[in-house]
């Protein structure tokens, strides 16, 4: 088996892309009269607008935070519209460059941004110039902190360089002091108006993006015991969110809040199909008879021990699902080993691979098959393969090869059992299973109930970002002459990292907030001249020459 197998899902995702800025243009509406409606502010006071949130608020896109993206952040767009009435100065902690990423003590710790290379997303081959230990001075209106979780808002020392890795590098360079909390720096500005968006997103995103390797902490109200990829307990979220809104509104400030989308609708989780293995590809197709011979022995054991649904079969007339390790399954390692050693057909099976059939070798091979496939199954359409899995599916895992060779297997045979997703089950970090997706949805729904209840109780403007993203992922969202969808690269809404919005997507988000502000506070941004952001003023991609 070659070191790399090529499958059709890569070409299905990337082949034929000629430009990243590809949107379905709607028919032009001719003869529109010039809009002369004057802008009215209503009851809102935008003189001191502060944006509170995480990566979306910061303007994070294409896998990084960089100057041009920050300038196209939705809070900066809102601030420009607010400035047309009674809005004041809006400041942002701009990064040093348009490369993205950052260094700590001169070492690159945050990777540069993605750009579109004609085939797909790829990282800029440039070195970031933003040094986290170079503390920015001033008061910042955009308090969007990439990586922020709900319970981080009130944590003192979240911006302390000495507190790494538990501190936040983005907050380190903008905190008023090492021991200040995010909420303290927000409240020190005495905001008259605020936006509070995507609070809670990272409380489920880190778990999801890591393929569900963390824990669901539902029922555990002590976040100091959480791991970095855990799902936050809904009561912990509720306390953090409610407390933040109480603080923001204590002095009479008004604001707009947005709920959370189902992040599993984003292209990070929907681009790579569960069945990417193409039998017409010679690197894979030629291996199907051998693979089916190996799995035939395992499938017989699965049937004998009462789990025939775990059978692994590759076909020659359709795309095949990858093999995954599902840690929610009962581990059948011991049963597989015992059944194989007890079978009279096992020694001839082992001999087919050119191996001796002494007791030690038989035990070793049975142990290998048991450990590899004790929790294995083929993926289904309800399993979500994360976007980075596209880089490793079909490739030979060299660590697996070395391990098997150390156990006495010949290199060729070790390689045959080490193809990711083909003979070697994909690790949990590459797949968000149906059970794991359900945990994310349950938590998101609970967070959104809190957000809506708090918004209603405080009389705040509310944006149903969950419904907006659902529409984008199905029919698409009409924005001026464009139809924005959640397709990776071509959809125009979501950037090249598959999670964060494009500049145009953030402009649309700003417009949705302005419409909600109109409804709640009596302004007329949606109707007035230049009251909303224009789609053509915002990009869907950034050139690699922009650095």
Count the residues in the chain: 547
Q: Is the pLDDT of residue 15 over 60?
A: no
Count of C-beta atoms within a 10 Å radius of residue 234: 22
Mean pLDDT within 179-208: 97
Distance of alpha carbon 163 from the chain centroid: 25
Q: Is the pLDDT of residue 12 over 50?
A: no
Residue 389's closest CA among 13, 62, 100, 3? 13
pLDDT by residue (tens digit) across 68-106?
999 999 999 999 999 999 999 999 999 999 999 999 999
b/e code 3-18 from CB counts within 10 Å (16+ = b): eebbbbbbeebbeebe
Say what the pLDDT of residue 27 is.
Answer: 56
Say what the pLDDT of residue 217 is.
Answer: 98
Which residues are CB-neighbours of 412 under 8 A, at least 6 positions away? none
Average pLDDT score, the chain: 93
Q: Is the pLDDT of residue 16 over 80?
A: no
- The domains found in the chain, sorted by start residue, are 42-270+434-537 (3.40.50.1110), 282-432 (no CATH)
Say what the pLDDT of residue 37 is.
Answer: 93
Higher pLDDT, 64 or 120: 64
pLDDT by residue (tens digit) across 512-545?
999 999 999 999 999 999 999 999 999 999 999 9
Q: Is the pLDDT of residue 133 over 80?
A: yes
The 3-class secondary structure across 317-377, one letter per residue, is CCCECCEEECCCCCCCHHHHHHHHHHCCCHHHHHHCCCCCCCHHHHHHHHHHHHHHHCCEE
Q: Is the pLDDT of residue 22 over 60?
A: no
pLDDT by residue (tens digit) across 461-508?
999 999 999 999 999 999 999 999 999 999 999 999 999 999 999 999
Give how far Cα 110 sits from Cα of 145, 146, 239, 267, Å.
14, 12, 31, 22
Q: Is the pLDDT of residue 149 over 70?
A: yes
- Percent pLDDT > 90 in the chain is 88
Beta strands in 99-211 (DSSP E): 102-104, 107-110, 114-116, 121-123, 142-144, 193-197
Q: Is the pLDDT of residue 251 over 90?
A: yes
Say what the pLDDT of residue 8 is.
Answer: 37
Say what the pLDDT of residue 35 is.
Answer: 85
Say what the pLDDT of residue 24 is.
Answer: 56
Say what the pLDDT of residue 214 is.
Answer: 96
- Residues 159, 93: contact at Cβ < 8 Å? no
> H/E element holding 207?
helix 201-209
Strand partners, 102: 110
Helix 74-82 to helix 503-521 angle (10° resolution) is 50
Helix 288-304 to helix 333-342 angle (10° resolution) is 100
Q: Is the pLDDT of residue 33 over 80?
A: no
Q: Which band of pLDDT confidence, cut at 50, 70 and 90, is reported for residue 266?
A: very high
pLDDT by residue (tens digit) across 306-346?
999 999 999 999 999 999 999 999 999 999 999 999 999 99
- Residues 69, 61: contact at Cβ < 8 Å? yes
Say what the pLDDT of residue 352 is.
Answer: 87
Say what the pLDDT of residue 34 is.
Answer: 83
Distance CA 181, CA 312 (A): 52
pLDDT by residue (tens digit) across 353-363?
889 999 999 99
- Residues 96, 136: contact at Cβ < 8 Å? no
Say what the pLDDT of residue 84 is.
Answer: 96
Q: Is the pLDDT of residue 25 over 70?
A: no
Distance CA 453, CA 253 (A): 18
> ∠ at Cα 492 (452, 35), nearest 5°?
75
Distance CA 278, CA 268 (A): 22
**What is the pTM assigned to this prediction?**
0.91
Higher pLDDT, 147 or 2: 147
Query: H helices then E strands: how many in the chain?
Result: 19, 16
For the CA atoms of the chain, what is the radius of gyration?
A: 26
């Amino acid at each position: 088996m070659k070191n790399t197998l090529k499958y059709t899902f890569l070409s299905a995702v990337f082949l034929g892309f000629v430009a990243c800025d590809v949107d379905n243009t709607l028919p032009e509406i001719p003869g529109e009269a010039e809009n002369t409606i004057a802008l009215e502010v209503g009851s809102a006071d935008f003189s001191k607008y502060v944006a509170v949130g995480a990566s979306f608020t910061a303007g994070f896109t294409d896998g990084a935070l960089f100057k041009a993206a920050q300038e196209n952040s939705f809070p900066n767009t809102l601030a420009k519209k607010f400035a047309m009435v009674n809005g004041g100065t809006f400041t942002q902690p701009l990064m040093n460059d348009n490369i993205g990423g950052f260094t700590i003590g001169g070492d690159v710790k945050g990777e540069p941004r993605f750009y579109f290379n004609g085939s797909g997303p790829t990282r800029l081959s440039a070195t970031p110039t933003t040094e986290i230990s170079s503390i920015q001075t001033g008061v910042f209106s955009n308090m969007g902190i990439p990586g922020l979780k709900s319970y981080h808002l009130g944590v003192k020392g979240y911006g302390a360089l000495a507190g790494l890795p538990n501190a936040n590098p983005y907050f380190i360079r903008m905190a008023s002091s090492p021991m200040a909390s995010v909420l303290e720096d927000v409240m020190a500005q005495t905001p008259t108006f605020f936006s509070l968006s995507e609070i809670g997103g990272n409380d489920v995103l880190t778990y999801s993006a890591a393929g569900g390797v963390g824990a669901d902490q539902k029922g555990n109200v002590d976040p100091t015991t959480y791991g970095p990829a855990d799902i936050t307990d809904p009561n912990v979220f509720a306390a953090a969110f409610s407390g933040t809104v109480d603080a923001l509104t204590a002095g009479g400030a008004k604001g707009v809040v947005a709920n959370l989308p189902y992040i599993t609708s984003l292209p990070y989780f929907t681009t790579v199909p569960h069945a990417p293995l193409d039998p017409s590809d010679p690197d894979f197709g030629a291996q199907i008879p051998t693979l089916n011979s190996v799995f035939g022995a395992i499938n017989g054991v699965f049937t004998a021990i009462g789990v025939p649904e775990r059978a692994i079969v590759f076909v020659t007339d359709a795309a095949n699902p990858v093999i995954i390790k599902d840690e929610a399954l009962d581990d059948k390692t011991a049963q597989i080993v015992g059944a194989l050693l007890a079978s009279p057909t096992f020694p001839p099976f082992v001999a087919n691979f050119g191996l001796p059939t002494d007791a030690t070798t038989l035990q070793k091979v049975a142990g290998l098959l048991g450990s590899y496939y004790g929790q294995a199954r083929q993926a289904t359409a309800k399993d979500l393969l994360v976007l980075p899995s596209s880089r490793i599916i079909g490739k030979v895992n060299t660590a697996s090869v070395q391990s098997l060779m150390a156990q006495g297997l010949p290199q060729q045979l070790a390689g045959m059992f080490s193809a990711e997703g083909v003979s070697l089950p994909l690790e949990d970090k590459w797949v968000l299973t149906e059970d794991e997706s359900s945990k994310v949805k349950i938590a998101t729904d609970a967070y959104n109930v809190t957000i809506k209840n708090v918004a209603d109780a405080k009389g705040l403007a509310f944006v149903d970002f969950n419904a907006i993203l659902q529409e984008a992922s199905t029919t698409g969202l009409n924005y001026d002459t464009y139809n924005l969808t959640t397709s990776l690269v071509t959809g125009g809404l979501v950037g090249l990292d598959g999670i964060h919005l494009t500049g145009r997507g953030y402009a649309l988000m700003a417009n949705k907030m302005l419409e909600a502000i109109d409804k709640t506070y009596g302004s007329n941004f949606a109707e007035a001249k230049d009251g909303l952001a224009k789609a053509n003023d915002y990009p869907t991609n950034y050139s690699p020459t922009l650095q």
